Amino acid sequence: MKNHTSTLIPGPLDSHTANLFLSQNSTVLLSTMLVAILTFIALAILRCGKIQPALHFSTAVPPYTHLTYPILGSLQYFSDPWNFLRTATEKGSVSFHLFNQSCIALSSDARQAFFSDWLTDPTLGYAIMLAGTPNLSKDFTKTVGIDITLGGRSYKFLTALIRKERVIAKMPTLYAYAYNHISGFGATTDPFESFPEIIFRLTVSIVTSSNIAANQAACNALLQIFIGLEKAATPVTVLFPWFFGPDRMRRFYLMKQFYNVMLDTIAERKKEGRNEDDAMQFLIDQGLSTMEITQFAIAVLFTGNANTAVVAPTLLCDLAMHPSYLSQVRDELETFISSFNSDMSLPLQARIQSIAYDDWTKPGCLPILERCLKETIRLRVGTPLHRLNNTEKDVKMGRVIVPRGTIATFHTSFVHHDEKIFPEPFVWDPERFSPERAEDKKTPMAFAGWGLGRHPCLGQKFATFEAYLLVALMVSLYDIQVVDERGQPLTEMPPPDLQNQVVSPPPTAIHLRLAARE
């Protein structure tokens, strides 16, 4: 049978392209830096004066923070976002800027207004704050960068692709991918490398292309593109999105690689007259161009993979670090699996395939595992959330006015690590989500792990399914111990790192020692 994915793996750069993109000639680099600095200063003089007055035209716009540098703005946001936002908002919400991007940092008491607002756009907020997509005009995504919203159609397409009917049709394939990956582990594994590979593959299968997903090497190549894109998103690309420097060139090259994969996949499919029942065919049938399919795929794969690829292995590490919970979860999952297929003579793979998609996330089916997942998210996930006012008018969030073109930012640690809401907030304690304690129910909008209000996580159900499935396979197949990179047992997990812009693995290396269970 012909391998339909053999051309999907990006090849090495030829010497000309490598020299074009990666040359480190010192003279050229110094000249570029000098021109860039002079350009920045000139433009800053013209632009910076427009920022603060625009933020203060109304008394409802928060006062400007003193934690700022001339022209460039609050650079502390990049290096220490949690401490910056916490310190800046001690007396309430404040305004700040990042070069020519105006922002408002919302305090904890403004969270209900933040999560309840439906006029501001989280997708474009993240595009600017993470990828350096420029702003200042309604169609700013057409200037530099990509329009990940497809003119507002992305939400509709994603909703259609993750309908349970489409996921159910893929369940045998998803089960096979997951089981084959997990059962192939050796004596040790780095879960923050091995889990992202399978989570990415499962996500590609649902929201991109079935024949790309069928080739693990192609999936891994795409995953490396995403890792490269994340590393190339630096403060420079955010502050100066129009500057085509080394990071921007690297991002351009990586996006071109991704585009080529989509182009080859579509061309091969059309050439052979194949009409497959997958996300790519759905998008083709909707009339999207290859560039639009690329834009959509980059956005949804980042959204679908970024959090789950860290949360799922972290959950497993938290369980392994607490043997009593690991034992409870293992027993709960064995009872759960047996309720659908009790034939112990069958292999685990066959028994698990008896479980329907909806059953994994049905309320109350896996209460202990659900509490453990929520607690891992609460404790380990502390990042800023963003909303861009991309409308033609100012938007009111509670008592705060968010001017047009301004990004409102709220940090999840304002609730997740508030000892008034969650006592001993840096202790992993799943029972805080038990019916008896229900600490998340005593304060409005206290748990932001899956979004809140008008901005819930669209992929929550599928992400939960992925996490539960992988944990079920791991605890059923292996006895697990958390060790460091030298193989020495760890006695506790590293404290959560709250200084990241996105959900990130622990700052120190963590591995799992595995022993096959009988």
Q: What gap in Å lies between CA 464 and CA 236, rounded to an integer? A: 35
Name the token pair of 357. Answer: 């998609």
- Say if CB 172 and CB 290 are below 8 A apart: no
Query: Given the structure tokens 């910056």, which residue do they identify?
Result: 84
Paired with 481 in beta bridges are 513
DSSP at 387? E
Q: What gap in Å lies between CA 33 and CA 39, rounded to an integer? A: 10
Phi, psi of 195 (to 5 degrees): -70, -45
- Say if CB 185 and CB 241 are below 8 A apart: no
Binding residues for heme: 457
DSSP at 501? S
Query: Given the structure tokens 């006895």, which residue do they identify?
Result: 479
CB contact set of 196 (below 8 Å; sequence gap of 6+):
223, 305, 309, 310
Name the token pair of 399. Answer: 């008592």
Q: How many CB atoms lie within 10 A of CB 193?
A: 13
What would the DSSP string read from start to end of 29-76?
HHHHHHHHHHHHHHHHHHHGGGHHHHHTSSTTSPPBPS--BTTTB-TH
Binding residues: 457
